[in-house]
Amino acid sequence: MKQTTPISCNLIERNKEFMKSIRSTFCFTVLAISFALSAFAAEPAAPVRKRAPSVPEVRRPVIAEPRPGDVGYADQPGQIVYQVLLAEMAVQRGDVELASKAYADLALRTRDPKVLERTVEVAGYARRFDLALEAARLWVEVDPASKKAQQMVASVMIHSNQLDDLAPSLVRMLEADKESLGENLLGLNRMLARSPDRLAVFRLIDKVCLSFFGIAEAHYAVAMAAGSAGVNERALAETRRALELRPDWEMAALLQMQLMMRESPGEAIRFLQGFVERNPGARDAQLALARALVSEKRYAEARSHFDQLLQAYPNNPEIVYPVAILALQQNDTALAEAQFKHFVTLPTQDKSFAYYYLGQIAEESKRNEEALAYYALVGVGEQYFQAQLRRARLLVELGQLDAARKQLSTAKVKTPEERIQFTIAEASLLRDAKQPQAAFDLLEAVFAAQPGQPELLYETALLAEKLGKTDILESRLRKLIELRPDSAQAYNALGYSFADRNLRLPEARELIEKALKLSPEDSFILDSMGWVLFRQGDLSAALTHLERAYALREDPEIAAHLGEVLWELGRKDDARRTLLEAQKKYSDNEALADAVKKFAP
């Protein structure tokens, strides 16, 4: 006959693998408590086809209610087997309510720690926190020395947000493990991270740590909880006390800096500078200082700290990358390129930003083939669209329009909206290649399937104007205004189209004024306003708007308009100078070329 083990160590253990990972030697650590908490967030070991309600009903506990005729199951192994099978089959069917009741009854009759442990697990998953807590407390009563049982009591109370009565249990567990006291104090906030009531968490941690004040970690724990609850003044006081007890403690210094940044970034930076000067080996603090200086645009000071860190940690991606970015911001492209190239050799997950910047550097240096190779390495993410667009434009420069179009049309997308963006970019290539009809036809095919898509309305309207299809231009821009009455670009495009053709000038001005109210600093709208004023004969006001527009953006078409207005005002030398200087930068712009031919031949 095959030898069998007791039921409490067989069927139950088989369904509780995750509980084995809790270290019984721990009295109280974040790891142990978080594993216990996970019993209520994760499914039971057996598959379940339906979940219990997320909001538990209030029920009377059943474990500790003695009933007439109750007897234990010590001499009834068959009954134990039956009840365990009943509970586990209920779990299989998804009836966690029946499973939790069956285990609760078995726990009462056997008072077996393994049965109580499984009861806590199943009741927790069933959202019967009243039952789970009673089972955990009975477990402690049955086995007072069980650290796992004490952890379960704490974890159930945390998960059910019963924080007010938790302090004594936490204090007892902390006192029982003096060797790990500092580590366990630091774990309090992580253990309670799931609780949504941050003020309640702060009050609990404050109460628990009161018994351990004088230990730096206790003050740090209170500071963390206070900062999370928005009690900034108390948080700062506790970090200062922690640093008095451990003057070289980086964690406390970093927390104090973060808290101070909320009120005064300058003061926070000065504090951390002092800490780094007193503790030159505090590399994490120096890295935080360098980043804070970058956030305040104090790039030269940041660069100095990053250079020191780079010497100490030449292969740390968190240092190499910001050094490259800072070098790029300071136009030190040689250093930036060297560090980006080094960065992509390091073991980091996302290198797309580095490849994108390497592509830009190569492109600006006219190393187009190299730039193409780097842009091709940019993965799907924040820089993907721009990388693909730059890659396509480089292919056009190399005379490969068809290859550029294919690249954009086959680019990876996650949503239909992203596909539209790539199609618009492809149409832009055709328009720049003096193929407006092909560009219009490309977008029109997509527009036919999505006639209410705002960006397609706008782009097809602009292309329709180039093709002389002013009826399409007007109807689509008016439709866009109807769909998006806050679209400054739609008002501006329609108003400018009238002004440029010297038609319906009062309406054109009204439309552009609406656009300007929506976006008063937009250089193109300011240009439109200047142009409609010029058409209406108000040269002085036109000049004011055009000069402001050109100061914001040195665009060739704005320069053409500005040159014409200056000419009409009799300032012919200024007009010639403006037009000729702009032509040096934008020699291929048609509007500017026409203005130069007319006014500065």
Q: Can you tell me the mean pLDDT for 361-376?
A: 95
Those residues with Cβ within 8 angstroms of residue 274's Cβ, 6 or more apart along the chain or in another chain: none
Q: Are residues 392 and 420 in the same domain?
A: no
User: Model confidence at 573, in pLDDT bands (50, 70, 90)?
Assistant: very high
Domain boundary among 160, 181, 212: 160
Q: Are residues 369 and 418 in the same domain?
A: no
In CATH, what number is assigned to the domain containing residue 576? 1.25.40.10
Extract the tokens encoding 354: 């580095």
pTM of the prediction? 0.64
For residue 333, with 0-12 CB atoms within 10 Å meaning exposed, 13-18 middle and 19 or more buried, which class applies? middle
Task: Name the amino acid, one letter, at 307.
Answer: D
- Its domain, for residue 573, covers 503-599
Q: Are residues 446 and 592 in the same domain?
A: no
Q: Are residues 507 and 590 in the same domain?
A: yes
In CATH, what number is assigned to the domain containing residue 69? 1.25.40
Q: Are residues 587 and 448 in the same domain?
A: no
Q: What is the pLDDT of residues 430-489, one digit of tens each?
A: 999 999 999 999 999 999 999 999 999 999 999 999 999 999 999 999 999 999 999 999
Q: Are residues 458 and 592 in the same domain?
A: no
Q: Are residues 440 and 471 in the same domain?
A: yes
Q: Are residues 511 and 364 in the same domain?
A: no
CA angle at 301 for the pair 299 and 302, rounded to the nearest 5°: 60
Domain boundary among 160, 178, 205: 160
Q: Give residue for tokens 């506990």.
A: 61
Report if residue 344 sits inside a domain. no
Asked whether the predicted pLDDT for residue 515 surpasses 60, the reply is yes
Q: Please name the residue ranges forming H helices in 193-298.
A: 198-209, 216-229, 232-245, 250-261, 265-278, 283-295
Alpha carbon distance 236, 254 (integer Å): 11
Task: Name the amino acid, one letter, at 40.
Answer: F
Output the 3-class SS for 100-150. HHHHHHHHHHHCCHHHHHHHHHHHHHCCCHHHHHHHHHHHHHHCCCCHHHH
Report in angstroms the alpha-carbon separations of 424 from 414, 483, 573.
16, 20, 40
Q: Are residues 473 and 521 in the same domain?
A: no
User: Model confidence at 164, in pLDDT bands (50, 70, 90)?
Assistant: low
Asked whether the predicted pLDDT for residue 600 surpasses 80, the reply is no
| pLDDT recorded at residue 511 | 97
Report if residue 571 sits inside a domain. yes
Q: Can you tell me the mean pLDDT for 560-572?
A: 94
Alpha carbon distance 417, 535 (integer Å): 38
The total of structural domains in the chain comes to 4
Q: What is the pLDDT of residues 273-320, one digit of tens each?
A: 999 999 988 999 999 999 999 889 898 899 889 988 998 899 999 899
Q: What is the pLDDT of residues 178-192, one digit of tens each?
A: 888 999 899 888 878
Residue 197 DSSP code:
-
Q: Are residues 391 and 427 in the same domain?
A: no
Q: Are residues 107 and 20 in the same domain?
A: yes
Q: Are residues 1 and 56 in the same domain?
A: yes
Extract the tokens encoding 79: 């009954």
| pLDDT recorded at residue 359 | 96
Domain boundary among 454, 485, 516: 485
Residue 215 DSSP code:
S
Q: What is the pLDDT of residues 344-368, one digit of tens each?
A: 999 988 899 999 999 999 999 999 9
Top-ranked range on mean pLDDT: pick from 29-38, 278-287, 535-544: 535-544
| pLDDT recorded at residue 196 | 82
Report if residue 425 sits inside a domain. yes
CA proximity to 251, closest of 185, 321, 307, 174: 185
- Cβ neighbours around 369 below 10 Å, total: 9
Report if residue 10 sits inside a domain. yes
Those residues with Cβ within 8 angstroms of residue 147's Cβ, 6 or more apart along the chain or in another chain: 24, 25, 26, 27, 28, 32, 173, 176
Report if residue 176 sits inside a domain. no
Report if residue 553 sits inside a domain. yes
Report if residue 513 sits inside a domain. yes
Report if residue 257 sits inside a domain. no
Evaluated on CA atoms 48, 53, 54, 59, the torsion sign reads: negative
